[in-house]
Structure formats: structure tokens, C-alpha cells
Amino acid sequence: MEMLVVSLTVFVLALFVGVEIITKVPPNLHTPLMSGSNAISGITLVGAILSAGSLGPQVATILGFLAVIFATINVVGGFMVTNRMLGMFRRKD
């Protein structure tokens, strides 16, 4: 139970940090914000790697393997497409 409270504390504090920063992102960059934050939500990849590589039952390994694929698409696709979009934004020259 103590663990849960610690985790919840972290969750709630992170929520406030998120709100604080994200309200400062200008509308110009809302699409890259979505794809970029999307990429980092692929952090589930960490859990997927732990499942796919551990000594669990075969089914869990396969689920982990599929999760690695999906999460990696999310991460790689997300960061790359965000990078591509942001590269297009330029100032008046």
C-alpha cells in the first residue's frame, strides 16, 4: 500500500508539471506536440522489453514480443515524424 501512495504521489506531481509546461506550447506547434508526446508515451516499450525477455510463460513472452513491436512503432515513428515536421518550421528570412 505504501508503494501505491508513493507511485500516486509521483503521478500527481508529474500531472502538474505536464499542465505547467504544456499550456506554454504555442498552437503553431500543437501537431508536433501531439506526435512528440505520443512518441514518449511509447515508454511502455520498457515494460514490453521486460516481459519479452524474462523467464515467464511462453504466452507472456509472445505478448511481450507483440508489445515491443507496437511500442517501437510508436516510439520510432513518433520521434521521426515529429523531427520531420519540426524541421519544416522556419522564420521569415
Partner 1 sequence: MGSALINLAYLAAATLFILGIKGLTHPRTAVRGNQLGAIGMLIAVVTALVDQQVVNYVWIIAGLVIGSGIGALMATRVQMTDMPQMVALLNGFGGIASTLVAGAALLDALQIDVTLVTIQFAIATAASGLIGTVTFWGSMVAFGKLQGIIKDVRLSGAQIINAILLVIALALSVWLVVDPTATWIYWAIVLVSTLLGLSLVFPIGGADMPVVISLLNSYSGIAASAAGFVLNNNALIITGSLVGASGIILTSIMCRAMNRSLTNVLFGIWVAGEEAQSSDEVYGGRVKAANAEELAMLMETARRVVIVPGYGMAVSQAQHAVRDLVNLLEERGAEVEFAIHPVAGRMPGHMNVLLAEADIPYDKMKEMDEINPSFEQTDVVIVIGANDVVNPVARTNPSSPIAGMPILNVDKARSIIVIKRSLSPGFAGIPNPLFAADNTLMLFADAKKGALDIMNALKAV
- State in angstroms the smallest separation of the CB of 9 from partner 1: 10
Q: What is the radius of gyration, based on Cα positions, of the chain?
A: 18
Residues 6+ apart with CB under 8 A from 86: 29, 32
- The amino acid that residue 91 corresponds to is R
- State in angstroms the smallest separation of the CB of 86 from partner 1: 5
Number of H helices, E strands in the chain: 5, 0
- State in angstroms the smallest separation of the CB of 77 from partner 1: 3
